[in-house]
């Protein structure tokens, strides 16, 4: 199989135009059923314990899966990606760098896109055709998101899943669209959730595996998944360059916060969960988030895959109790 992995969301249109099967290595790591084992295998090979679990998990997933080529985002995501590229090169794996310019400069971003297009041997016409195909699927994901926050027919975890999966369309836009269509038909017969508390989740997707159901057991539901929503290219922008300039995740925290603030108001959010990954530079951004947002914020930190621990459960319950008193 002609699979190409990538370390975080990239212009997926290019891979599909080139006839590659896209694989988001984060999804491969976390959904393969052996995420903790992959981290432990990476540590056994020499990765330090105080390195982000996602980097170690991606490394383990690449080695185990047999993927021989990947696109590594060297600017706009994890600061450890460059070193990951170097280690993977020792295994004979081809690594293609891609960088989101910090200042969102359109000329710099176009240069990065065209370098990637040249590597995969595709032109703008082919890439734009792929973009039209992907936008048809993304439009349906936007409907799932609307059904989450506006009609209360979709759980926070379901919202999370479809938006995260949009980063690589589960390897096949056609099969993924069929899954989405089936899900949308099923939601039409649901009874809306009766939430007591409406939450926003901001930050990288969680490495914790039971956060969403735990919240819903306490009559709280996440109706805004910030970064996951960004993976789905939520604005319906037809121009590919502008689509990836509007994509907030790889740029600075203030650009992200402008979008977050709009969504918090539109979705009538009561409180915010800010998830940070252990040993990640984005932990520092929590200081900015707390200064810029007026809603109550609970910061959760995760390290390795697994369920919520007892201490984190108590912190969440206390936070929800506080929010309940404010409503």
Q: What is the mean pLDDT of residues 301-317?
A: 91
Q: How far apart are CA 64 and CA 4, in angstroms?
A: 14
Q: What is the mean pLDDT of residues 106-121?
A: 98
List, in sequence order, the alpha helices (H) in 153-193: 156-165, 173-187
Q: What is the mean pLDDT of residues 51-72?
A: 91
What's the domain range around 120?
Answer: 3-124
Residue 26: inside a domain: yes
- CATH code of the domain covering residue 108: 3.40.50.11890
Q: How far apart are CA 231 and CA 165, in angstroms?
A: 8
Answer whether residue 326 shows pLDDT above 90: no
Query: Residue 274 in contact with residue 315, Cβ under 8 Å?
Result: no
Per DSSP (E only), the strands in 29-136 are: 69-75, 94-99
pLDDT score at 216: 96
Q: How far apart are CA 65 and CA 28, in angstroms?
A: 9
Answer whether residue 132 shows pLDDT above 90: yes
Q: What is the mean pLDDT of residues 35-42?
A: 90
Residue 68: inside a domain: yes
pLDDT score at 178: 98
pLDDT score at 284: 79
Q: How confident is the model at residue 33 (pLDDT cuts 50, 70, 90)?
A: confident
Residue 34: inside a domain: yes
Answer whether residue 327 shows pLDDT above 80: no
pLDDT score at 1: 58
Residue 202: inside a domain: no
Instruction: Tell me the CA end-to-end span of the chain in Å, nearest whole number.
Output: 53
Residue 102: inside a domain: yes
- Find, among 136, 146, 135, the residue nearest to 243 by Cα: 135
State the CB neighbour count (10 A cutoff) for residue 186. Answer: 10
Query: Residue 100 in contact with residue 246, Cβ under 8 Å?
Result: no
pTM above 0.85, yes or no: yes
Dump the DSSP string for 56-69: HHHHHHHHHHT--E
pLDDT tens string 141-190: 999 999 999 999 999 999 999 999 999 999 999 999 999 999 999 999 99
Answer whether residue 279 shows pLDDT above 80: no
Residue 69: inside a domain: yes
pLDDT score at 207: 87
Dump the DSSP string for 215-232: HHHTTEEEEEEHHHHHHT
Residue 141: inside a domain: no
**Cα atoms found within 13 Å of the Cα of residue 182, Cβ hemisphere only:** 7
Q: How far apart are CA 69 and CA 6, in angstroms?
A: 9
pLDDT tens string 202-241: 999 998 889 999 999 999 999 999 999 999 999 999 999 9
Q: What is the dihedral of CA 199, 272, 31, 171, to 10 degrees?
A: 80
Q: How confident is the model at residue 201 (pLDDT cuts 50, 70, 90)?
A: very high
Per DSSP (E only), the strands in the chain are: 3-6, 21-24, 69-75, 94-99, 197-203, 220-225, 271-277, 297-302
Computed over every residue of the chain, the mean pLDDT equals 94
Residue 133: inside a domain: no
pLDDT tens string 74-107: 887 777 888 898 999 999 999 999 999 999 999 9
Q: Domains in the chain: how many in total?
A: 1
Q: How far apart are CA 116 and CA 223, in angstroms?
A: 35
């Amino acid at each position: 199989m002609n699979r190409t992995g990538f370390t975080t969301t990239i212009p997926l249109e290019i891979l599909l135009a080139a006839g590659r099967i896209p694989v988001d290595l984060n999804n491969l790591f976390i959904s393969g059923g052996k995420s903790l084992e992959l981290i432990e295998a990476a540590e056994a090979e020499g990765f330090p314990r105080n390195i982000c679990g996602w980097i170690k998990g991606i490394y383990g997933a690449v080695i185990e899966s047999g993927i021989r080529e990947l696109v590594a985002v060297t600017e706009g995501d994890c600061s450890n990606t460059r070193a990951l590229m170097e280690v993977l090169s020792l295994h004979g794996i081809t690594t293609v760098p891609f960088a989101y310019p910090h200042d969102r400069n359109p000329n710099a971003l176009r240069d990065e896109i065209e370098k990637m297009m040249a590597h995969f041997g595709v032109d703008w016409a082919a890439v734009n055709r792929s973009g039209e195909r992907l936008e048809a699927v993304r439009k349906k994901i936007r409907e799932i998101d609307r059904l989450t926050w506006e009609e209360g027919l979709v759980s926070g975890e379901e919202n999370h899943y479809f938006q995260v999966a949009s980063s690589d369309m589960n390897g096949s836009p056609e099969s993924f669209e069929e899954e989405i269509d089936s899900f949308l038909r099923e939601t039409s017969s649901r009874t809306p959730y009766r939430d007591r508390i409406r939450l926003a989740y901001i930050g990288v997707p969680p490495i914790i595996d039971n956060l969403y159901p735990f919240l819903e057991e306490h009559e709280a539901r996440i109706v805004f998944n910030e970064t996951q929503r960004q993976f789905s290219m939520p604005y319906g922008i037809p121009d590919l360059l502008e689509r990836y300039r509007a994509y907030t995740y790889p740029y600075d925290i203030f650009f992200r916060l402008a979008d977050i603030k709009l969504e918090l108001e539109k979705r009538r959010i009561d409180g915010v969960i800010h998830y940070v990954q252990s040993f990640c530079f984005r932990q520092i951004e929590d200081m900015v988030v707390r200064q810029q947002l007026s809603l109550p914020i609970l910061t959760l930190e995760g390290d390795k895959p697994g369920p919520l621990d007892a201490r984190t459960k108590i912190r969440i319950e206390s936070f929800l109790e506080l929010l309940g008193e404010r409503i």
